Structure 1
């Protein structure tokens, strides 16, 4: 199985999938997908941390300065550059693939297509992005055969 998603929808997709009530085989398919997405979320978090480290405001000893909430402060002289780089990172497309079973792609797509719950906000966006990714993967798979 291989799908392509933008970094910006990874965490919302994990959150959305966690809200769906499923049984048996469908729950298993969802869990495997969530595990694959969670691995990508971890990689994204590492990339975000690297950006923060690069653009952090530091004191005279080179130590990162922190805001009252505990977050690292971004150097105000480089904030625009940081925001531009962070935006690029969030829009990057990532391939999600891994050790799943033969019909996992079909099962996940069917789960989404058959979902009849109401959606709004980030859940609606995640649903749309996931379904688009599965439909594109199906087209690509059929074209490759």
Structure 2
């Protein structure tokens, strides 16, 4: 089994899974899955800062100018393009040690009886799609 999650969906997927009431094995595997998503989210944030620094105005020493904890971006269009490229990249979690965890999280999503609406419903649908796509990749 292989599951692919776009960087842009990491935070919302984490929130949705975090809020589900689960016990025992399901809870442990959900937590393991969330840790993988959180690790990737941290890397994505570090890369976002790198991109911002690359596109920011520099001071006399060549360091990025930061005002009110925000980078002073010189070329907004180029920054947005590079950042969107980062968000479009995907995290791939597959087989091996993750096999049992992925099957459990898929089962949790398949059997979930919680009602979702709005953005949560969109994220739930996205996650279900990703697990269905990855189900044949064993």
Q: TM-score if structure 1 supplies the norm length?
A: 0.83
* Residue 108 of structure 2 corresponds to residue 111 of structure 1: yes
- Decide which of 125, 132, 138 is 1:128's aligned counterpart: 125
* Residue 69 of structure 2 corresponds to residue 88 of structure 1: no
- The structure-2 alpha-carbon separation of the partners of 1:60 and 1:98, relative to structure 1 and needing over 3 Å to count, comes to farther
- The structure-2 alpha-carbon separation of the partners of 1:101 and 1:56, relative to structure 1 and needing over 3 Å to count, comes to closer
Task: Give 1:99 shift.
Answer: 6.6
- The structure-2 alpha-carbon separation of the partners of 1:102 and 1:66, relative to structure 1 and needing over 3 Å to count, comes to closer
Number of aligned pairs? 138
1:32 touches 1:100 (CA, 8 Å); kept in 2? no
Runs (5+) with no aligned partner, structure 1: none
- The structure-2 alpha-carbon separation of the partners of 1:97 and 1:50, relative to structure 1 and needing over 3 Å to count, comes to farther
* Residue 5 of structure 2 corresponds to residue 5 of structure 1: yes
Q: TM-score if structure 2 supplies the norm length?
A: 0.87
1:65 touches 1:73 (CA, 8 Å); kept in 2? yes
Which residue of structure 1 aligns with residue 22 of structure 2?
Answer: 22
Whole-angstrom CA distance in 1 between matches of 2:55 and 2:8: 20
Pick which of 27-36 and 58-67 moved more: 58-67
Runs (5+) with no aligned partner, structure 2: none
SS of the aligned residue for 2:91 comes to: strand
Give the aligned CA root-mean-square deviation in angstroms. Answer: 2.0
Whole-angstrom CA distance in 2 between matches of 1:85 and 1:48: 9
- The structure-2 alpha-carbon separation of the partners of 1:97 and 1:122, relative to structure 1 and needing over 3 Å to count, comes to farther
